[in-house]
Chain A
């Protein structure tokens, strides 16, 4: 690894390198297999998720009324979703009255085109960004790059991801898969290519790394004329937009530039300021385990002489109204992007976020991504269809969710949709579907089950050794089980057969 600290090329923005996107991610089992082979990734993730899990549990445990807050959060979100068109019109009216300009975007292409046109209209060739899930979802950075516009991520973890030509792996901490040493190396190698180089002799102490990022970003904050943000909440009553962040970079983006463009999913509304109070308690404790969020920026339209003098708000659908039409699936739209479900998920902890092939990783991604990609209406690609199965259904995510999204329930519901699509498109059933049919047929009567148990008992005697079956080759699912696990040999006499022979241990020497 070469060091360019202090001697890097002059800060000329590069336009020759594409932003990485999630396109081409294989289906989850394969993507997970690759991630699991990366010991460094496993170690980084294990350490990070364990720490944040413990801190969150403590922060939540302090509140005796946590369950009441969760119920309130879910109820407020459900109320908004139930009445979304009217709430959105109210919001649009309020934003417009306060001097903002509202745009509606049906999908990613429309949203990206609107943003690019606004940036061009202001004669800008670069923008600074507040961390935003909605803009990741629509791959805005790549769309702007194709328009010749440089995009600078200013959240520390987003900066690490962007400088490292990497993909985010967590909603809140996109560089959770990187450790300090890796981050120092990225800073040393990459900062100089796009701006102020990393200080000479940069170490891997967190304070030193943060200072390097601060210095690197400062010139971008002071130079940029246009900023782009997402939104954590929008208050329908007043047209106020809310962004929560921890580093102050958001505050810089939201106040310094002349023009502010906010991309906000249509589901982000709350009806009133009073409702906001619930979420300002739920979100920090769930996401960063803080009692109170460090930087909460709230603005209403434009204030003459204070902050950006032009404010564009883009209301993004991008599949959300389709999600709304599914009575079971729509609870996913309550999500406030806290990432508590990621941090407690046994699958996420091992695979990391990139394996999910979407801006939304982890349990929430497994239910949100397929829905945003239209699973309720039509079959989805194999990668998307693999996501609802990327869960052991352990339920830790539901317990941790501050807005009570029953993620396991939605996962199972989506699996049902996938099976129905598959049955409609496969004339010959898949191995799994055929197996499930045979199993269902067998389990329909005790006579068939008893017969199957006799066959299994006989087969077990052939392949089993000392009560267990060891390494065994065969087609899926045999191969999948026996690659790393043994199995108890099926019993010579099932419980059912034993009960019938001995009348429950009462005759024939069949003590239970």
Chain B
């Protein structure tokens, strides 16, 4: 199986350690992972902000970059949902604007092979215990796009529960949005922050040392609030925890 890593643009720039954790984890499970250098971005920011036309070249690039792989794995439920749910719509838009019809088939062929990390580990590799060790108390925030758009369900919880030494603490109202919402965070900053503070209160109330999720975008927002409030609670992507073996974690 030829597996490619889709790092996503903001993980590439802001959280390269998440990508390295993905590589470490997948190699430990015996799978080599390629990083197609032609990749850039799934186009979600433009799509969701109303700049759908600008998305077309990004979707074309994404489709071309990953076409030759059996599976694409990404540390973002949100970007995976953009590819699976909305790339077909962008392909349709491209055709309406005079692009060749091939993009529709190419997108339709690739989109179902794009997986968020927990889906890839459990559904594709069939692994729940990834052999990780992380002796800390952890709260898990199920991000909206991974749960409502992708339907990852309890996969992340099953993976985290199998981690040696990890204590999973209950996060109240965990299914509530954190208020990030992409450009919503800066177009409606007051509301975004108000929602985020309620999430932070729940995280602090949970007593967890670490807050984790399958999307660093949401963690960037929650972590930014935690950091501004001077909280010692760390935010870590799920991949970093699953990659940890106690010697490196």
Contact = CB atoms under 8 A, between A and B. Distances in A.
Given A389-B187, A494-B16, A499-B37, 18 more contacts: A32-B190, A351-B191, A392-B192, A399-B148, A416-B51, A444-B58, A446-B38, A456-B13, A468-B227, A476-B186, A485-B228, A491-B15, A495-B12, A495-B16, A499-B19, A504-B33, A511-B24, A512-B20
A453 B13 contact: yes
B7 A415 contact: no
A498 interface: yes
Contacts of A436: 45-46, 49, 51, 54
Given A389-B184, A496-B37, A512-B24, A396 B7 contact: no
Interface stretch (B103-111, B129-137, B172-180): B172-180
A129 to B, nearest CB: 33
Interface stretch (B112-120, B156-164, B207-215, B216-224): B216-224
B179 A392 contact: yes
Majority secondary structure, B binding face: helix
Contacts of A414: 50
A395 B149 contact: yes
- The 6 A-B pairs at the shortest CB distance, nearest first, are namely A392-B181, A415-B50, A485-B224, A395-B148, A477-B186, A394-B177
Given A395-B149, A416-B50, A490-B14, A347 B7 contact: no
A481 B17 CA distance: 23
A324 to B, nearest CB: 21
B193 A29 contact: no
Interface string B6-32: 010101111111011101100100000
Contacts of B245: none
A351 to B, nearest CB: 6
Interface string B171-207: 0000011011111111111111111100000000000
Contacts of A351: 191
A486 B231 CA distance: 12
Contacts of B188: 28-29, 32, 347, 389-390
A392 B184 contact: yes
A78 interface: no
B106 to A, nearest CB: 18
A346 B195 contact: yes
A484 B20 contact: no
B69 interface: no
Contacts of B43: 443
Contacts of A389: 183-184, 187-188
Contacts of A476: 186
* Most chain B Cβ neighbours within 10 Å, of A393, A439, A470, A504: A393
A33 interface: yes
Interface in B55-78: 57-58, 61
* Most chain A Cβ neighbours within 10 Å, of B33, B35, B40: B40
